[in-house]
Amino acid sequence: MYVAVKGGERAIDNAHAWLAEERRGDTGVAELSIAQIREQLALSVARVMAEGSLYDPDLAALAIKQARGDLIEAVFLIRAYRTTLPRFGASNPIETAAMVCDRRISATFKDLPGGQILGPTFDYTHRLLDFALAAEGLDPAPAPQVAAPDGALPHVTDFLAREDLIQPEADGPATPRDLTREPLDFPADRPLRLQALTRGDEGFVLSMAYSTQRGYGRTHPFVGELRIGTVAVEMEIPELGFAIELGEVVLTECETVNQFMGSKTEPPQFTRGYGLVFGQSERKAISMALVDRSLRWEELGEDNVGAPAQDQEFVLYHADNVQATGFLEHIKLPHYVDFQSELELIRRLRAEALGDQAREAAE
């Protein structure tokens, strides 16, 4: 008796209803609010904003709630929403030198103008489960405060630049290509690569960076500076003739200082890798800086040692987790037509191979 896969439509509707129920979980437990996710799962929200390429903490929190905490699914929801939004224009380039920093550290200088600001970091916490957190209602005591430093904190690499010790960066194109509006094309210039990396999967970018540290390629840079804080976003309004502030975004910026002994074309000088990510996302920003530097081998006249992180096609085509997840998971879809044709082929080849063996045995 042949039972066709009929009723796909009803099955889909029922699956969605069940999914909604599972998302909510036990209704005896209070429902999560968007504000709770935004405030208490802020680093998840940051990741979804960064990889979703849309700065909106409330929407990211909503996506996390809808995706049951699956962050790649949440990124996907944000991307699919983002692509429908009208484009009114582009902001002015943001000025990270004017960032109001929550955190700013340099691994290359013990002290520097503006000082080292540790900020809210996991770095020196002991990773011991805090069972006190399991008992709710214990708000932490307010952290000690000091007055914010006066004026902007200069970038650490500026000090090296003054001595000409670090490679100056060429001006990029006035309007960088937009990865989300044009097909990816190779060779990809640096602004395009950085765009792909900042929205790339954190795990992928991390592993690519790590591979260059372990010997597939060679980067073991110094973190010249890592800063996290708030910058203003301004936009030029043609009718007004001047720029107005649209709002503020939290960013993480990392500049690495890489050893560089010079090449056939370039004198010995320090060089940079650059990472810039929405929200507080140090792992991603540092990883991005390492991969950025690794992908610059050609421009700096270095050898291509065949490392994966030097291959821009490899890195850029595989960094996007929404693309990767979709294609990976599409193998769940029915493939019985292709499988049937493979089945026939294998049966035929097998029959021939077994026939050959039998004939040889007979001889």
Contacting residues toward another protein, per CB under 8 A: 1-2, 4-9, 11-12, 76, 79-80, 82-84, 86, 180-187, 313, 317, 322-323, 325-330, 333-338, 340-345, 348-349, 352
Residue 227, class by beta-carbon neighbours within 10 Å (0-12 exposed, 13-18 middle, 19+ buried)?
Answer: buried
Q: How far is the CB of 9 from another protein (least distance, A)?
A: 5
In the bound state with another protein, the residue whose beta carbon lies nearer, of 52 and 224, is: 52
Pairwise CA distance, residues 55 & 94, whole Å? 14
User: What one-character DSSP code corresponds to residue 61?
Assistant: H
Q: Whose CA is closest to 166, among 301, 266, 269?
A: 269
Q: How far is the CB of 349 from another protein (least distance, A)?
A: 6
User: What one-character DSSP code corresponds to residue 60?
Assistant: H
Largest Cα–Cα separation, the chain: 95
Q: How far is the CB of 56 from another protein (least distance, A)?
A: 16
Residue 250 has a CB neighbour count (10 Å cut-off) of: 21
In DSSP notation, 19-88 reads HHHHHH--TTSPPPPHHHHHHHSHHHHHHHHHHHT---HHHHHHHHHHTTT-HHHHHHHHHHHHTTSPP-
φ, ψ (nearest 5 deg) of residue 71: -70, -35
Give Cβ neighbours of residue 212 (< 8 Å, ≥ 6 apart). 218, 219, 290, 291, 294, 307, 309
In the bound state with another protein, the residue whose beta carbon lies nearer, of 68 and 220, is: 68
Q: How far is the CB of 64 from another protein (least distance, A)?
A: 18
In the bound state with another protein, the residue whose beta carbon lies nearer, of 53 and 230, is: 53
In the bound state with another protein, the residue whose beta carbon lies nearer, of 220 and 348, is: 348
Rounded to a whole number of angstroms, the distance between the first and last alpha carbons of the chain is 45
Q: How far is the CB of 345 from another protein (least distance, A)?
A: 4
In the bound state with another protein, the residue whose beta carbon lies nearer, of 122 and 336, is: 336
Q: How far is the CB of 182 from another protein (least distance, A)?
A: 5
In the bound state with another protein, the residue whose beta carbon lies nearer, of 180 and 263, is: 180
Tokens of 313: 């096609």
Tokens 């097998």, residue?
350
In the bound state with another protein, the residue whose beta carbon lies nearer, of 272 and 296, is: 296
In the bound state with another protein, the residue whose beta carbon lies nearer, of 241 and 306, is: 306
Q: How far is the CB of 330 from another protein (least distance, A)?
A: 3
Report the amino acid identity of residue 29. Answer: V
Where does the chain show beta strands of DSSP type E? 100-105, 222-237, 242-258, 271-278
Q: How far is the CB of 172 from another protein (least distance, A)?
A: 20
CA angle 183, 51, 307 (to 5 degrees): 70
Q: How far is the CB of 196 from another protein (least distance, A)?
A: 13
Mapping DSSP to helix (H, G, I), strand (E, B) and coil, where does residue 358 land? helix
In the bound state with another protein, the residue whose beta carbon lies nearer, of 79 and 293, is: 79
